Amino acid sequence: MVEASNAVVINGIIVFLSLCGIGIILAALLSNRMNPFGLSLVASIASVSVLLVGGEVLLSGHSVQTELWTLPFLGTLTFKIDRLSALFVFITGLVFLPVSIFSAGYLKRYLNRYNLKTFSIFYYLLFASIVLVLISGDILSFLIAWEVMSIFSYLLVNYEHEHEETTRSGFLMLAMSEAGTIMVILAFLIMAKASGSLDFAALRASAGGLGEVARWAVFLLSFFGFGVKAGLVPSSTWLPRAHPVAPGNVSALLSGVVLNLGIYGITRVNADLLPVSQVGPGLIVLIIGSISALVGILYAATENDMKKMLAHSSIENMGIITAGLGAGFVFAASGLPVLAGIAFIAALYHLINHSLYKSLLFLGAGSVDYAVGTRDMDRLGGLIKIMPWTALFFLAGSLSIAALPPFNGFVSEWLTLQTMLQSSAIHSAGEKIVFALSGAALALTAALAVTTFVKAFAMSFLGMGRSKRVKKVGEVRRSMIIPMGILALSCLLFGILPTYVVPVLDKTVAPLVHEKVADELVPPFFTVDKGDPKFGGAFVSEFHDLGAQVGRSYLPGRGLVILHRGLEKNPVVFAMSTSYTFIVLLFLLGGTFILVKVLTRARKVRRAAAWDGGIRRLLPEMTYTATGFSNPVRVIFNAVFHPSTIEDTKETVAGHFRTAIKNGRKEVHIIDRLIFKPITSFIQSVAVTLAKMHAGSINVYAAYVLIGLVLVLVVQRLLL
Amino acid sequence: MSKWVIKGLRTGIKTTQYPRKMETASGVSPGLPTAAKGTEKEVQELVFNCPTGAIERSGNQLTVDYNYCIHCFRCKRGSQSPMGWDYGYEWAANTKDSGANRGLGSAFNRSINIRFVDGGACGACISEIEQLNKPYYNMHRLGFFATPTPREADVLLVAGPVTDHMRLPLKKAYDAMPTPKLVMAVGACALSGGIFGPSFMSDAGVSELIPVDVAVPGCPPPPLAIIHGLLLAVKRKSSALLTSSEVRG
Amino acid sequence: MVQSLNKATEWLNLSEISANRWPGKIKVRCKQDRFICHMECDKSIVADVCNWLFSELDYSFASLVVEDLASEQLLTYIFYGGFGNGLICVSYRISNSTTTVPSISNLIHAVDWHEREIEDLFGLVFEGHPRLGDFVLHEEWPEGINPMRADFDPSNPYIHREVDPDWRPLRIVQSPGAFMMPIGPVYSDFAESAHFLLETVGEDVIRIIPRFFYKYRGIEKIAEGNAVEHVILLAERFSGTSAFAHSLALCKAVENISGIEVPPRAKALRIVLAELERLRHHIGAIAGICSSTAFAVATSQASILEEELLRLSGVLTGHRYLFGLNILSGLSIDLADDAIGMLAKNLRGLMVELNKLKKLLYFSSSFLDRLEEVGAVSLEDAVSHGLVGPVARASGLLRDIRKVLPYSGYEKLDFTVPGEEEGDGYARLRVLFAEAEQSVNIINQVASSLPPGSVNAKSFRIAPGEALGWVEAPRGASFHWIRVGEDGRVLRYRLTTPSFSNWHGFHLAAENFAFQDFPIIMATFGLSNAESDR
Ligand code: SF4
């Protein structure tokens, strides 16, 4: 059994890597015109193989480990897939599959402008490197894969290199990413020094030997280092700049997969290799997460560029995930493993969800951009009539991200918020206050997310087209719609079947918190008997009394997410069921539909245009713009946005004839304003003296970093 | 704020008893000319002096077409005019367009939403219509409500001769109403164009554009006449005549 | 007022000063007894002359009258001064074929809408005016057809033209994401037809662009060729809420031309009725302000008083809106002395109620919060935009026609012109209350010393000629200019109404405000579209 499972996994990885190789060769051979198709075909198969690998490990639970080869001085390169890796690998496949299909159509827009061969090659390399990062079993292979992944994601973002804007954003992305990498390297070095080995297993084993200072150092370096990739405050600035310049499909990957790697890193180091043993780091993670969430959503709410808005929203979602992790760390350090488990489950659940809906939304935004040629929501509008399928799936994505049931965002955000409420179990008042504030921040975030995505959907798809281009377009090709459909369906399924997802996540989390919480969260109350020792009599009888077991032989499985303290009186802490909500919702909607049909069957339905006050023609200029819709947020949070010029400039001719009122508004992102501006002005003065060292080419910088990395590792090895 | 409550309570009930009882207060209506019989000279003078041609003669018998009369009082204030004057206010009448199939039906008897469209009225009609919303007449007690959108209106209240620029808005408002719907033309201008229409900028009344069901004559029709019109629209009152009947004897 | 008195001396020297300034280019004729001075000048200096009157001598712009005469076109700018300074008509003639004339609205902004209106209706292009077209006549009106031209046939409807699909309303706010909220022409519960485009980027409204003349009935055109009696009907019925004031202004103009003497009793009763109308209008406006702030009890209280005044008018004159009263040479009916006594007695009771209401309102902070500092207009703006009536007086511009150009015997009465300085919604409310009180005071004065006699002349002849009639209508200064032909028919009728003057300045109050204040600003201005659109 174990053997068979191992074989599947190892063969799967081999198949995947060879598919990437075949893809690269094919890309080089195929013509520019055929390349998108080839990419889509091979990468889809590769995604399926990845899904199989991830799925196998997730379900069977057998970690697979292989040693590749040994490098002189540096040790052995190993691959290891445990459930945590497998989860991320699985999500990677889940996103790569639809995005690869989508690319076939989407890439056509670049046909005569850019070299599609290089795009395909970068794409495979990125895919492979991401998987390799996730299955690396030692520091060296991890870092090499990490660097490759960073460079190729940069190259893909920078694909439309003809634009000045693109290059600048790409450079910022690379620079910040490398800064993060250096911090990560330092964190690994500290751990490696203590264990004397680069192997993860060895690091894990020797974790206990690290002193207080070293632990803090590892935590801070790894958290903020990986935080760059995850787009957490304060190193989030690269995200909203990189996204709008990246091609639509790359954006989906960036948000749906690459950001996850940051979370993977944080989890791997701080929950697995060197588990956080104090409350402090947990609180830092919680605070940074909450701030990221709030700052992200505030800027998302007021942004009019669809992709920039989605990028800010990625910061928000990464923040929510991080806040969940932070809560988990605090609970774990406070000796509350069950709550820690729930918090980690919530975080990882949100991670899956975010990958799904964010890549869906990016594909939607890409489709709109592809069809209309603009992503400015002020200039869109009325697209639902022209692009009904894109609109439908974008709506599904919007509902998911706005955390409305029965879609997936609701489940994970609900769990996260409920977890925050469980802080009552902690004793320290100070910690409780941090939890309360974070909870409030997250609740505000959730509310603003609704505003943001009501705006995103309504301003882009409803109403009247606000620019002439909108009228000329049509729906995108089917190969682009189907992947969005797949993702939208996944969003729905992950939303209505949490009771099947939670146990899988529980098994992933269990090794980290040394506790299983599946029975706590999704108890089998249909089947449990009164005498079951694990569930208190009070708990079971409560369900019996409610008649919860009435349908035990008809209902297919558990449908309720619940937190309970099984042995107390009133044991239920919280409960919800999207599965049942969904069923009820279906009946309600269907029932209403039928009822209306029956009641009005004798009536003639007359359709008339919306009432416009009787003016000759309602013009698109007379409908709400995205800016107008989000202006209340801008006004309320003026202190955060802190626009530098709000004075209107008024132009007047002939004494009293006002001809123009212009309102120039310049904003500097709060993070740039409060953190980077002061630092840059300091560094700039220093830099003037060091300027001569700069060669000015990005490739040179990349080379510096790679050389530096190898040098550091060699030196470290020699020292030991 | 409590002072306001006391003030309101102190004021007591001001609302008219109409339609339960006829309103007897003076000054609620300018009245309308009825009909007259007179000498040849008198008759000629009256017909000549009427600015809107509302007075019609057959022999020495005079009748008044209320579609046109604007209460200019010229037929009353001349020296010893034989013109009779009626101070009532139940003037609203069905028009030839108001067929049986256009009724609102009994479901609407005690709840009607009214959308008002100003087709170029002078402001007096509008002021009188506004009085319906105010304590003395308070149409809410009868189940009549004003609505800002024609989408939920059952009755369209139109005043004014319908100026050229208001034709399109009026038509749009009418088209936006769900069926069943009624149109009520309020005031002489809305019935015949009054002294403004027809001209290069005004029509000769609302019926030129959309079918009118209830006509309320008067310039302006007093609030009670408009209430009578609304009650007529829901068949809670009977129709008056748009032309005065002849004087007998 | 002291300053204006000094100016009065200068007025006497008008002819000398102007002859020195523009030698050979200006002819001045002054009728000292009637306070009217005619200046006929060259087209080239008209802007300078008008600017001299407006900026240096403190005259206010009243009206611009264009006449399409048989052989030439005559343009007359009418100005009125402070106390004792009378009226000045600055006119110049151009040939029938001339289509461009100089614009003076960059110097005197109050002329702006007059020039726009004339461009639409006469086809005269005012050179230098930055915003012509799409004013009285909307976008579907055929190009090049000008209804006020003598050769235009007003009896038939015109043919609409195809509206240009790319036609766009004017926009002023150019911030990214700015859009327009359209309101009307059919809006609110019982609002008059008017269309407003509120320019905004969400939340606050930055600028308001009104589009009017939905109610344009072409009164000035349909008056042409009609008997004066018929035109009096038009004057009283184009704006039903200020019928008496407007019919009075027209009657006075014609009486002036024909030298008809109005009996003293009629003069006195005209004041009573004009003030009764003002009182009713102001109380209605107060009710409107209360209702715009959704203050139900106060609205009801004011409305009760309004309806009581309507009934009182009905009992007194037979018509609730005082229609059919003004005729040439006086009034169509006499009001008995005891009827006037009854009126005065009733008004005293009403005044008690009104004062109670005023006190309650002035101490209701939630109500005042919505009015104070809302829709403020500065004195400077009020002067430059030519605002009139209670709105102008709330901004400190105290020019009341009853004082500066007294008519019908107002000069013999003792009353004050209430004014405020803030120019906000609350100031306008206070002016309304104070003026209502003054109206009652005037009625009481007249009622106590009503002269005996008849109320109209039995016989008179309508003479040909032209004259201006003026009146302080409830909403402010109104000027009716009329030219009567040889056959006693009207050749040209020009109507300048306070609503027209004040809508022109409405946007001053409606700049940078919260959307929910829009109805309040509207209500405190208390304007009528029927009166402004004509
Ligand atoms: S009151 Fe009526 S009927 Fe009599 S003259 Fe005037 S318009 Fe004609």
Q: Say if CB A290 and CB A441 are below 8 A apart.
A: yes
Q: What is the CATH number of domain B32-86?
A: 3.30.70
**What is the mean predicted confidence (pLDDT) over A217-228?**
90
Angstrom distances, CA of residue C193 to CA of A613, B57, C477, C488, C490: 10, 38, 23, 35, 29
A211 at C interface, C-beta within 8 A: no
Where on the phi/psi map is residue C133: left (φ > 0), alpha (ψ -120 to 50), or beta? Answer: left
**What is the mean predicted confidence (pLDDT) over A346-366?**
92
Contact between A628 and C179 using a beta-carbon 8 Å cutoff: yes
Last residue of a domain, one of C127, C162, C187: C127
- For C349, other C-beta atoms within 10 Å of its C-beta total 10
pLDDT at B180: 82
pLDDT at A323: 93
**Is there a single domain that holds both residue C121 and residue C266?**
no
Higher pLDDT, A535 or B163: B163
Provide the number of CB pairs (under 8 Å) joining chain A to chain B. 19
Distance between CA atoms of residues B138 and C304, nearest Å: 11
Q: Say if CB B236 and CB B19 are below 8 A apart.
A: yes
**What is the mean predicted confidence (pLDDT) over A242-252?**
86
* Residue C174 burial (10 A CB sphere; 0-12, 13-18, 19+): middle
Q: What string of DSSP letters covers C193-210?
A: S-EEEEEESSSEEEEEEE
* CA of B92 relative to ligand 1 center, distance in Å: 18
Contact between A616 and B149 using a beta-carbon 8 Å cutoff: no
Distance between CA atoms of residues A690 and B24, nearest Å: 100
Whole-complex ipTM: 0.89
Angstrom distances, CA of residue C380 to CA of A281, B124, C389: 64, 34, 15
Tokens of C46: 């008209």
User: Given pLDDT bands bounded at 50, 70 and 90, which one contains residue C372?
Assistant: confident
* Gyration radius (Cα) of chain B, Å: 19
The answer on pLDDT for A376 being more than 80 is yes
**What is the mean predicted confidence (pLDDT) over A587-597?**
93
* Residue B102 burial (10 A CB sphere; 0-12, 13-18, 19+): middle
Question: Which of B10, B168, B200 to probe the C interface (max C CBs under 10 A)?
Answer: B200
A341 Cβ neighbours under 8 A, 6+ residues apart: A328, A506, A509, A510, A513, A515, A516, A517, A520
User: How many structural domains does chain C have?
Assistant: 2
- For A33, other C-beta atoms within 10 Å of its C-beta total 11
Min distance B102 CA to chain C CA atoms (Å): 24
Q: Say if CB C346 and CB C312 are below 8 A apart.
A: yes
Report the sign of the C-alpha dihedral through residues C261, C262, C265, C268, in that order: negative
The CATH number of the domain where C283 resides is what? Answer: 1.10.645.10
Angle separating helix axes C337-362 and C296-317, nearest 10 degrees = 170
Contact between A622 and C179 using a beta-carbon 8 Å cutoff: yes
pLDDT at B108: 78
Distance between CA atoms of residues B84 and B37, nearest Å: 9
Question: Per the domain annotation, does C470 fall within a domain?
Answer: yes
Tokens of A441: 């921040």
Q: What string of DSSP letters covers C419-451?
A: --SS-SHHHHHHHHHHHHHHHHHHHHHHHHT--
Q: Say if CB A175 and CB A701 are below 8 A apart.
A: yes
Indicate the domain borders of chain A: 1-208+234-244, 639-719
Question: Which of A302, A611, A619, A641 to probe the C interface (max C CBs under 10 A)?
Answer: A619
pLDDT at A525: 64
The answer on pLDDT for A489 being more than 70 is yes
- For B185, other C-beta atoms within 10 Å of its C-beta total 30
pTM across the whole model: 0.84
Q: Determine phi and psi for A163, rounding to 5 degrees.
A: -85, 135
Question: For the segment B89-140, what is each residue's pLDDT rounded down to a tens digit?
Answer: 888 888 876 664 466 777 777 888 999 998 888 888 899 998 888 888 888 8
* CA of C411 relative to ligand 1 center, distance in Å: 36
User: Given pLDDT bands bounded at 50, 70 and 90, which one contains residue A571?
Assistant: low
The CATH number of the domain where C52 resides is what? Answer: 3.30.460.80
Question: For the segment A4-47, what is each residue's pLDDT rounded down to a tens digit?
Answer: 667 788 888 888 889 989 988 888 888 878 888 888 889 999 99
Select from C90, C87, C116, C121 the least CA-distant residue to C103: C116
Last residue of a domain, one of C127, C155, C173: C127
On chain B, the residues whose CB falls within 8 A of the CB of A606 are: 178-179
> What SS3 string covers A543-589?
HHHHCCCCCCCCCCCCCCEEEECCCCCCCEEEEECHHHHHHHHHHHH
Distance between CA atoms of residues A469 and C448, nearest Å: 75
- For C452, other C-beta atoms within 10 Å of its C-beta total 8
Mean pLDDT, all residues of chain A: 83
User: Given pLDDT bands bounded at 50, 70 and 90, which one contains residue A607?
Assistant: confident
**What is the mean predicted confidence (pLDDT) over A51-80?**
78
Query: Which of C215, C301, C319 is opposite residue B163, by nearest beta carbon?
Result: C215
pLDDT at A698: 65
Indicate the domain borders of chain B: 32-86, 93-233
Distance between CA atoms of residues A99 and A359, nearest Å: 8
Question: For the segment A86-99, what is each residue's pLDDT rounded down to a tens digit?
Answer: 999 999 999 999 99
Can you give the pLDDT of all 249 residues of chain B as single tens digits? 678 888 778 887 888 888 888 888 888 888 888 877 778 787 888 888 888 888 888 777 888 888 888 888 888 876 677 778 888 888 888 887 666 446 677 777 788 899 999 888 888 889 999 888 888 888 888 888 888 888 888 889 999 888 888 888 899 899 888 878 888 999 888 888 888 878 888 888 888 888 888 889 888 899 999 999 888 888 888 878 877 776 654
3-state DSSP percent of chain A in helix, strand and coil, to 5: 70, 5, 25
pLDDT at A370: 86
b vs e for C48-75, b when ≥16 Cβ sit within 10 Å of the residue's Cβ?
Answer: bbbebbbeebbbbbbbbbbbbeeeebbb
The answer on pLDDT for A649 being more than 80 is no
* CA of B60 relative to ligand 1 center, distance in Å: 17
CA dihedral A477, A479, A481, A486 (to 10 degrees): 180
Kindly report whether the peptide bond that precedes residue B180 is cis, defined as omega within 30 degrees of 0.
yes
Contact between C217 and B202 using a beta-carbon 8 Å cutoff: yes
pLDDT at C282: 92
**What is the mean predicted confidence (pLDDT) over C54-62?**
84
Question: For the segment A153-201, what is each residue's pLDDT rounded down to a tens digit?
Answer: 888 888 777 677 777 777 888 888 888 998 999 888 888 888 878 888 8
- For A68, other C-beta atoms within 10 Å of its C-beta total 12
Coil/strand/helix, residue C467: strand
Topology, domain B93-233: Rossmann fold (3.40.50)
Determine the number of helices (DSSP H) and then strands (DSSP E) in chain C.
18, 16
CB of B181 sitting under 6 A from ligand 1: no
Distance between CA atoms of residues A396 and A388, nearest Å: 12
Distance between CA atoms of residues B146 and B112, nearest Å: 8
Mean pLDDT, all residues of chain C: 85
The answer on pLDDT for A551 being more than 60 is no
Q: In terms of residue numbers, what domain contains C111?
A: 7-127
Last residue of a domain, one of C127, C149, C172: C127
DSSP state of B198: S
Poorest-pLDDT segment among A221-230, A264-273, C174-183: C174-183
Output the residue whose Cα is nearest ligand 1's atom 8. Answer: B50
Distance between CA atoms of residues A582 and C429, nearest Å: 57
User: Given pLDDT bands bounded at 50, 70 and 90, which one contains residue A354?
Assistant: very high
pLDDT at C2: 35
Angle at A612 between CA A606 and CA A615, to 5 degrees: 115
Q: Determine phi and psi for B33, rounding to 5 degrees.
A: -65, 145
Distance between CA atoms of residues C316 and C321, nearest Å: 11
For residue C6, what is the enclosing H or E element? helix C2-12
Distance between CA atoms of residues B192 and B70, nearest Å: 10
Tokens of C504: 């022109």
On chain C, the residues whose CB falls within 8 A of the CB of A617 are: 163
Q: Determine phi and psi for A564, rounding to 5 degrees.
A: -140, 155
Report the sign of the C-alpha dihedral through residues C364, C366, C369, C372, in that order: negative
The answer on pLDDT for A1 being more than 60 is no
Per the DSSP assignment, residues forming a β-bridge with C26 are C41
Distance between CA atoms of residues C270 and C267, nearest Å: 5
Ligand 1 mutation target, pool B56, B63, B64, most atoms within 8 A of CB: B64
> What SS3 string covers A625-681?
CHHHHHHHHHHHCHHHHCCCCCCEEEEEECCCEEEEEEECCCCCCHHHHHHHHHHHH
Ligand 1 mutation target, pool B29, B45, B49, B69, most atoms within 8 A of CB: B69
